[in-house]
Structure 1
């Protein structure tokens, strides 16, 4: 886990910054009563549902595109190190958590909570703050997944498209490429 964090600091910091930024706006509202929370929940349901739908669609698309990325990786001329496949696996894990989290939040808001007369009004404050927390968290996770994917795609472009010497190419293959280049220069 520590190795993962050290390798992906920028992506994780980007996701954390997005979470804090998204949550900060909500916390600036200050303390609210149960009635105010109920009203705010009612007015924000459409936006939260749209956020969840967008994240569900994006994360499902990313999972499908990861299969294409794996096809490109295995079909390349270069023998790519195991680290690359672990990066793709980590993206898939984050993306799956994101997909499930967005789906669960979406399902929660399809329950007509604000229409219920049986819930005490004090509960709406907790529901409101937890909704803001989880929507901020989902936004941050989405940014993290996108940044992780960007890092992985730029690595693949460097290896496959630009045929650069890259840390993800097996050392044996790098040596073979260098030997081939030196033989061509000698001739």
Structure 2
């Protein structure tokens, strides 16, 4: 897990920064009344729906790109480590979580809550803050997925296009060195 976070640190931190940036905007709004929240929801709801719609289409496109990435990975004459395929699998998992979340919130944002007379006015402030938090998390997750995809493509370009060594490239010599190092570490631990 630590290796995964270390390798995808820029993607995770990029998504975290976007979420924090959006949260900072929320904090700068300060405390708002329930009537103000209702008015702000009326103004922002269409944009929130568009954001979810865009994320749905983008994440579907990213899944398609992952299939292309896999076909390029498999079609190369170089042997890629299992870690590369696990990286693609993790990108796909994040992307599916993003897709499903955006679809659920798209449906929730389409409820005619503003036209309903049964919703107490004091709920609107909570609903408004919840929508801001949800959209900041969705935006952060979208940035994370895109940066993870960028890392995977960058690795393939380095291996296939630039014909350079990369940590995702399988090498028998390197594997033998790693196995010897692991065996030495096990022997040292058994002596203790």
Aligned residues, how many?
175
Unpaired segments ≥5 residues, structure 1? 176-187
Q: Deviations over 1:105-149 (max 9, x none)?
A: 110011001111111111111110010000000000011011101
Question: Given the superposition, is the C-alpha separation of residues 145 and 71 from structure 1 closer, same or farther in structure 2, using an over 3 Å criterion?
Answer: same
Q: Give the deviation of 1:173 after TM superposition.
A: 7.6
Detail structure 1 runs of 4+ shifted over 3 Å in the superposition.
Answer: none
Matched, 1:144 2:144: yes
Match of 1:4 in 2: 4
TM-score when scaled to structure 2? 0.88
| 3-state SS of 1:117 partner | coil
Partner residue in 2 for 1:103: 103
RMSD: 1.4
**Residue equivalent to 2:19:** 19
Shift of 1:171: 1.5
The answer for unaligned runs of 5 or more in structure 2 is 176-192
Deviation (angstroms), 1:165:
1.4
For 1:36 and 1:2, the matched residues in 2 are separated by 44
Matches within 5 A, 1:63-142: 63-142=63-142
Distance 1:174 1:158 in 2: 18
Corresponding residue number in structure 2 for 1:179: none
Instruction: Measure, in 2, the Cα distance between the counterparts of 1:3 and 1:120.
Output: 49
